[in-house]
Amino acid sequence: MMNQESSRKKTTAIIAKAQKDDDFREELLANPKSAIQQEFGKELPLGLEVRVLEESANVVYLVLPPRPVVELRDTDLDAVAGGFAVAAGSARGKPVNGCYSLDEWLTTVLM
């Protein structure tokens, strides 16, 4: 399994190639999922959508991570039915709704 540092290196490599290779940059902007799959020679999960935005001198994008999904286990549901609740968190690295974020995909699938 790849660590976060390695994932960031892969992301940096994609950006660096897009800055040097105009054809790759255009493909990355037009068909990001396909361009990334071709670059790494591996398929991305079917449910994963990839969007690439190009910043300009006057436009900067702030990307918010998804809100954490809290799934209750049967024991947690029993606790709620009994009048109190216990917070349950999902395990890190597990897909949410069957989909990984791009960063998680790079971390879990590529190595």
Sketch the domain layout of the chain as residue ranges: 4-108
**Higher-scoring residue by pLDDT: 6, 38:** 38
- Find where tokens 């590529």 sit: 110
Give 33's pLDDT tier (boundaries 50, 70, 90): very high
What percent of the chain stands above pLDDT 70?
65
pLDDT digits (tens, 9 = 90+) for 62-89: 888 888 887 777 777 666 665 433 344 4
- Residue (of 72, 66, 75, 73) closest to 95 by Cα position: 66
Residue 22, pLDDT above cutoff 60: yes
Residue 54, pLDDT above cutoff 90: yes
Give 96's pLDDT tier (boundaries 50, 70, 90): low
